[in-house]
């Protein structure tokens, strides 16, 4: 009986090791994505897309600049 239990557990260990390996690989991929996105935020490359938005209502814009 116990031998059967241990054989069953041993087969599960192989599956769990495989799953652990896959999860570790996925974690590393996600960490690389986070690092790349963080670096992109710190050093934006495509600054030409950006533009300052100004209000069409000049009074409101002036009030906002005073604040």
Residue indicated by tokens 């599960």: 12
Task: Read off the pLDDT band of 54 (50, 70, 90).
Answer: low
Going by C-beta distance under 8 Å and a sequence separation of 6 or more, which residues neighbour residue 55?
A: 61, 64
Q: What is the pLDDT of residue 7?
A: 84
The answer, yes or no, to whether residue 61 has pLDDT greater than 80, is no
CA distances for 48 relative to 39, 42, 62, angstroms: 18, 16, 26
Instruction: Give the domain extent around 21.
Output: 2-66
The CA distance from 46 to 37, in Å, is: 13
Looking at the predicted structure, is the pLDDT value of residue 23 above 80? yes
What are the start-end ranges of the H helices in the chain? 2-42, 58-66
- Round the average pLDDT of the chain to a whole number and report it: 83
Q: What's the total number of domains in the chain? A: 1
Structure tokens at 19: 């799953």
The pLDDT tens digits of the residues spanning 25-47 come to: 999 999 999 999 998 888 777 66
- Residue 67: its pLDDT value, please? 72
């Amino acid at each position: 009986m116990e031998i059967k239990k241990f054989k069953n557990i041993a087969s599960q260990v192989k599956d769990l090791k495989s799953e652990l390996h896959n999860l570790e690989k996925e974690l590393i991929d996600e960490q690389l994505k986070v690092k790349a996105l963080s670096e992109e935020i710190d050093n934006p490359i495509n600054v030409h897309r950006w533009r300052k938005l100004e209000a069409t209502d000049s009074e409101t814009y002036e009030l906002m600049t005073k604040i």
